[in-house]
Amino acid sequence: MLWGGRFEDKPDKTALEFSSSLRDDILLIKEEILCGKAYAEMLCGIGIITSIELKTITEALSSVETEYHNNQWNPDPKVFEDIHSAIESRLYELIGDTAGKLRAGRSRNDQVVTSLRMWCKKSSMEIINLISILQRTFINTAEQHLETIIPGYTHLQHAQPVSLAHHLLAYIEMIERDKERFSGIIKESDSMPLGSGALAGSTLPIDVYFLKEKLGFSLLCNNSMDAVSDRDFVIDYLNACSIGMMHLSRLCEELVIWSTAEWKFIRIGDSFTTGSSLMPQKKNPDIAELIRGKTSRVFSNYQSVIALMKGLPLSYNRDMQEEKHSLFSSYSIYTDSLKLMKLMFETIKFDNSYLLTLMKKSTILATDAADWLVSKGIPFREAHDIVGELVKYCLKKEIGFEELTPEELKRMNPVFDESVCEVFKLDNSLSRKKTEGSPNPVFVKEQITKWKSALFLKTSQV
Can you tell me the distance from the alpha carbon of 150 to that of 351, in angstroms, rounded to the nearest whole number? 10
Q: Rounded CA gap, 30 and 46, in Å?
A: 25
Same structural domain, 409 and 315: no
**Torsion angles phi and psi, residue 415, rounded to 5:** -70, -25
Summarised one tens digit per residue, pLDDT across range 323-333 is 999 999 999 99
User: CATH number of the domain that 379 lies in?
Assistant: 1.10.40.30
State residue 457's pLDDT score: 64
Backbone angles phi, psi at 85, to 5 degrees: -65, -35
The answer to whether residues 21 and 75 touch, using CB atoms and an 8 Å cutoff, is no
Inside any domain, residue 459: no
**Catalytic residue ranges:** 155, 276
225 and 328 share a domain?
yes
The pLDDT score that the predictor gives to residue 425 is 93
Say if residues 185 and 120 touch (Cβ distance below 8 Å): yes
Contact status, residue 183 vs residue 104, Cβ threshold 8 Å: no
Considering the domain architecture, whether residues 113 and 223 belong to the same structural domain is answered as: yes
Q: CA 400, CA 158: separation in Å to the nearest integer?
A: 13
Q: Are residues 26 and 100 in the same domain?
A: yes
CA distance 225 to 433: 57
**Side-chain half-sphere of 61: how many Cα atoms within 13 Å?**
25
Q: What is the pLDDT of residues 105-140, one digit of tens each?
A: 999 999 999 999 999 999 999 999 999 999 999 999
Mean pLDDT of 256-263: 96
Q: Mark whether 11 and 64 lie in a shared domain.
A: yes
CA 309 to each of CA 10, 37, 158: distance values in angstroms, whole numbers, following the listed order = 30, 31, 45
Taking residue 33's Cβ as centre, other Cβ atoms within 10 Å add up to 20
Query: DSSP class of residue 285?
Result: -
In a domain, residue 331? The reply is yes
pLDDT band at 13 (very low <50, low <70, confident <90, very high): confident
pLDDT tens-digit series, residues 366-386:
999 999 999 999 999 999 999
The one-letter amino acid at 63 = S
- pLDDT given for residue 9 in this prediction: 62
Question: Domain with 91 in it: what CATH number?
Answer: 1.10.275.10
Give the global pTM: 0.94
- At 305 the pLDDT is 98
pLDDT of 12 > 90? The answer is no
325 and 413 share a domain?
Answer: no
Nearest to 54 by CA among 38, 30, 68, 33: 38
- Please spell the DSSP secondary structure of 101-163, one letter per residue: GGGTT--HHHHHHHHHHHHHHHHHHHHHHHHHHHHHHHHHHHHHTTT-EEEEEETTEEEEEEE
Based on the fold, state whether residues 311 and 182 are members of the same structural domain.
yes
**How much of the chain, in percent, has pLDDT values that exceed 70?**
97
Q: What is the pLDDT of residues 167-199, one digit of tens each?
A: 999 999 999 999 999 999 999 999 999 999 999
Question: Does the residue 461 lie in any domain?
Answer: no
State the alpha helices, DSSP H only, in 270-418: 286-309, 323-345, 353-360, 366-375, 380-397, 406-412
Domain limits for position 84: 4-104
Task: Give Dmax over CA atoms of the chain in angstroms.
Answer: 101
Assess whether pLDDT exceeds 50 at residue 3: no
Q: What is the pLDDT of residues 299-326, one digit of tens each?
A: 999 999 999 999 999 999 999 999 999 9
Q: Is 36 inside any structural domain?
A: yes
Overall number of domains in the chain = 3
In a domain, 19, yes or no: yes
Q: What is the mean pLDDT of residues 155-163?
A: 96
The reply to whether 456 falls in a domain is no
The mean predicted confidence, pLDDT, of the chain is 94
CA 108-16-305 angle, 5° bins:
60
Distance CA 151, CA 130 (A): 29
What string of DSSP letters covers 31-73?
A: HHHHHHHHHHHHHHHTTSS-HHHHHHHHHHHHHHHHHHHTTS-
The secondary structure of 200-219 as a DSSP string is: T--SS---HHHHHHHHT-SE
For the stretch 401-416, pLDDT in tens is: 999 999 999 998 999 9
Task: Say if residues 324 and 20 touch (Cβ distance below 8 Å).
Answer: no
- The answer to whether residues 317 and 392 belong to one domain is no
Give the pLDDT of residue 107: 95
Of the three residues 48, 75, 104, the one that is the final residue of a domain is 104
369 in the same domain as 246: no
Pair 420, 374 in one domain = yes
The pLDDT of residue 461 is 42
Of the listed ranges 51-60, 202-211, 375-384, 448-457, the least confidently predicted one is 448-457
CA 259/CA 255 separation, integer angstroms: 6
Q: Give dist(CA 178, CA 184) in Å, integer.
A: 10
Examine residue 196 and say whether the peptide bond preceding it is cis (omega within 30 degrees of 0). no
Q: Which of 445, 266, 260 is nearest to 352 (CA)?
A: 266
254 lies in some domain: yes
- Note whether residue 155 is domain-resident: no
- How are beta strands 191-192 and 157-163 bridged, if at all? unpaired
Which helix (H) or strand (E) segment holds residue 179: the answer is helix 164-188
**What CATH number does residue 117 fall under?**
1.20.200.10
Residue 460 — pLDDT band, cuts 50, 70, 90?
very low
Residues 277 and 176 occupy one common structural domain: yes
What DSSP element (H or E) covers 349? Answer: strand 349-350
pLDDT confidence bin for 462, thresholds 50/70/90: very low
Predicted local confidence at residue 80, as pLDDT: 93
Q: Report d(CA 400, CA 378) in Å as an integer.
A: 23
Q: Does position 1 have pLDDT exceeding 80, yes or no? A: no
> Does residue 141 share a domain with residue 58?
no
CA 198, 200, 203, 208: dihedral to nearest 10 degrees?
A: 80
Instruction: Give the residue from 350, 378, 410 where a domain finishes.
Output: 350
Other beta carbons less than 10 A from residue 296's beta carbon: 12
